[in-house]
Structure formats: structure tokens, C-alpha cells
Amino acid sequence: MEEEDDDEHRRQRVSHSRLVMQAVGQIFKPRRAANLDRKRERQGLLPEKKITVSLRMLAYGASADQVDKITMMGKSTVLESLMRFCSAIEALNNNEYLRKPMTIDLRRLLKKGEM
């Protein structure tokens, strides 16, 4: 009986000392400062700048390497903005200008060519 009481007492001391050590560890644990919300926006490149790059490449036949040095944009960003610009223009004009010519259109063009 006495041995069982000693074992129980020893377990309580061990669990108590373990809890004390965990609490001390939490107190002295170095903590990071909380992140402050400074209400800042991470702005990327302006859309106007991307459009200007695309127009410059199309108008002057400039390569992506030439344009990225001038505008301080990455080559991949320049190429991506060019592809997006071209696909947007194509989507806007697809129904009217990129359709197959109809017979009325062919007659009008042939008449214009004869004149």
C-alpha cells in the first residue's frame, strides 16, 4: 500500500514539474511581433504601361528585349501583355472583321477593284 502511494506521489510530482517547465518555456519563449495592417496595396504595373509596351512592339516592330529595358518590365511580362492585348483586340473585332466574306462583300470588293 505504501509503495502504491509513493508511486502515485512520484507521478504527480513529475506531471506537476512537467507542467511547470512547459509554463516556464512559454514565458521565456521568444515571440515574433504581430504583423501590423498598414493598409497598403501592392500595386503592380499600370495597365496603361502594358498597353503602351504592346503598341510599341506592334508599331515599331521592337523585340521584347528592347522594350523591357526601356520600360523596366520583365521580358515575360512584356510578352504576356502583348498576347493579352492581341487576344482582346481579336475578341472585340472577331464578329465584324474576321468572319468569312459573304457574297455581298465579294461583289462590293470586286466593283471597288474595277473602279
Give pLDDT tens digits for 53-66. Answer: 999 999 999 888 88
Which of 14-18, 60-64, 78-82, 103-107 has the weakest average pLDDT?
14-18
Model confidence at 1: pLDDT above 80: no
Question: pLDDT > 70: what percent of the chain?
Answer: 70
For the chain, domain boundaries: 47-114
pLDDT score, position 73: 86
| CB of 78 closer than 8 Å to CB of 66 | no
pLDDT score, position 84: 92
In order, the DSSP letters of 33-94 are PPPP----------HHHHHHHHHHHHHH---HHHHHHHHT--HHHHHHHHHHHHHHHHHHHH
pLDDT score, position 59: 92
